[in-house]
Amino acid sequence: MSSAISTAPQSGAPLIYHLRDVVKTREAKDAAFTLRIPSLQIAMGEKIALIGESGSGKSTLLDMLAFILQPSEIGAFSFRPERDEQPLNIQAYWKKGKINELGDLRKRYIGYVMQNGGLLPYLTVRDNMNLCRSVLGLRPDGMVEHLADELGITAHLNKLPDALSTGERQRVAIGRAVAHRPSIVIADEPTASLDPYAAEKVMSMFIGLAEEFDITVILASHAWDHIKQLGLRRLTHRTIRNHNKMFTETVVTG
């Protein structure tokens, strides 16, 4: 069982995510896992940290927020990526099985950083960073070069990912998630495979970029220590495991 402090979303800013009573249940052979979200509100421009031990459901929550995992139950799930537009009802998309339309939303508004980069091995660093942009049909405007410069990977732009260190690959992944100027970047333990020093450096680069481009950030990590100085709002969660570990339930609010 663990718990954490939380602060309410900044008042005034519109809510980019608003979830109520969202549940994801996963059943394996002899273990069941339930993630419950009685209420979750994330305002535009917020930087959220989701801290928890392994297996507590961080990835599960992030995947639902990125529309790549369907919740088992939804009370309400609205998504408002544009300040001037009405919130979208994500529950309705899932209900009608509009996976492609959810993909279109993701393409337009969300950047996703995977734990181990998720770079395409057959594309150069430049093309990997350009992937989301080119899918959207954005013209080259120096953004990729600018990001590469900020992330310190300019020298690697024409290399394939195999030729990069893990930390460099994570930086490319961050660059890719930011390059098309999404409203939100979701990062699932982006620095888990790095040493603490490199992790701290990459993380501050990431937050720096998010601030530069005014991007909402949702970040999962199993350690608070190396990100506490970045000024993120921490989500509250509580994990209950029964004695023989047959059943785990995590409740997240914030």
Residues that bind ligand ATP (CB under 6 A): 26, 28, 33, 52, 54-60, 222, 248
Determine if 193 is a binding residue for Mg ion (CB under 5 A): no
Asked if residue 166 binds Mg ion (CB under 5 A), the reply is no
SS3 label, residue 73: strand
As a whole number of angstroms, the distance between CA 235 and CA 40 comes to 9
Cβ proximity to ligand ATP: between 56 and 130 the closer is 56
Would you call 192 helix, strand, or coil by DSSP? coil
Residue 147 touching other proteins (CB under 8 A): no
Q: From the CB of 4, what's the least distance to Mg ion, in Å?
A: 17
Nearer to ligand ATP, 11 or 54 (CB): 54
Nearer to other proteins, 97 or 196 (CB): 97
Q: Which is nearer to other proteins, 100 or 244 (CB)?
A: 100
Chosen residue from 70, 154, 204, 236 binding other proteins by CB under 8 A = 70
166 binds, among Mg ion, ligand ATP, other proteins, none (CB under 5 to 8 A by kind): none
Q: Are 9 and 218 in contact (CB under 8 A)?
A: no
Cα separation values, 59 from 18, 55, 114, 183, 236, Å: 18, 9, 10, 20, 15
Minimum Å gap between C-beta 242 and other proteins is 24
Q: In angstroms, rounded to a whole number, what is the distance separating the alpha carbons of residues 110 and 232?
A: 19
- Show contacts with Mg ion in window 13-72 (CB under 5 A): 59
Rounded to 5 degrees, what angle do the CA atoms 29, 34, 35 make?
A: 145
Do the beta carbons of residue 212 and residue 231 sit within 8 Å?
A: no
Q: Which residues contact 83 (CB under 8 A, 6 or more apart)?
A: 14, 44
Supply the minimum distance, in Å, between the C-beta of residue 104 and other proteins. 6
Contact assessment for residue 21 and residue 73, using Cβ atoms and an 8 Å cutoff? yes
Site of interaction with other proteins (CB under 8 A)? 59, 63, 66, 68-70, 99-100, 103-104, 106-108, 112, 114-116, 118, 120-123, 127, 131-132, 134-137, 160
